[in-house]
Chain A
């Protein structure tokens, strides 16, 4: 994993701060949208294998709702907003006012597009704060929603990284609603910059990184 050997503690701290700022803005946006308190964990920056990445969200065949968007501009990459099925249902119930809503029974257009729009707003606020912080031009593609096995979804974000090795650097921030009965984490933001983007991000923040 020679590519990652050039990452030191300073670089990891920078990525952590990026996760902090990005997800912080996104959590605020979510909180305003739902008029609820949203709590956020301290971002976790890890260099892990593809299989370990799937294990963060319950293993490769765990079914989730995920919004995926491609980051375009100066530092391309991928972003995922991953929700457990129960949490996705709860968000849809809150947005549409239909408290009986279940994803299994109802796959109609409106609730799904509400969820997609939620993902769009959150990922958009994550990215724009990142863009402000780094002074880099970053813009999101149109978001795509999928409700499927997490392995099938996340592997899209691993394609670019897989060309340089068998590990991935993931900036993971988890969110959950306040006063949830269980302490289960219910949403994850995953930021997966393309391999070439890391030194662009570091340089933009004034830290050297050997290419």
Chain B
């Protein structure tokens, strides 16, 4: 048994990162954003992205942050997981987030529905690269903090009212 100190790799908003066992990877306070994990269990390597917007066509600036948009983030995430030792064909995905934090009775714009749109966009992108989604916890109206363990493939999801769940 190794007694190596387990580090928590952090993923910020509109950010992505890679982790190898025994370390874990975490992103905090997902609301309408989606946290997506792509991993290869046998290689014990995983990548996590904190996606903010569904499509890079929404961008109004040239120098774009690829981690922000579902269409650009998933592609880059897969590339980096493979670079870190993951194998094409063995990759799986888990995702959480995409809540609708506020319910407005009037004037609901498209931007207010951003949570469900993010979920749909991430799903489409994973399908595009033929990566199966083995577990997901999406929608609802609660914020989530998620932590992924590449050794076991377990995703921990913490919400304010329901405590911590394993997935």
Contacts and interface: CB of A to CB of B under 8 A. Distances in A.
Do A and B share a complex? yes
Interface in B153-167: 158, 160
Interface string A8-49: 000000000000000000000000000000000000000001
A72 interface: yes
Contact of B143 (A50, A141, A153): A153
A147 B160 contact: yes
A93 interface: no
Contact of B30 (A2, A68, A151, A162): A151
Given A155-B52, A163-B58, A141 B106 contact: yes
Contacts of A51: 12-13, 15
Nearest to B58: A163
Interface stretch (A56-64, A121-129, A179-187): A56-64
Contact of A162 (B53, B105, B141, B158): B53
Given A142-B105, A151-B143, A159 B31 contact: no
B55 to A, nearest CB: 11
B28 A156 contact: no
A156 B101 contact: yes
A148 B99 CA distance: 12
Contact of B65 (A72, A160, A166): A166
Contact of A2 (B52, B61, B104, B144): B61
A111 B106 CA distance: 23
Nearest to B10: A51
Contacts of A54: 13, 28-29
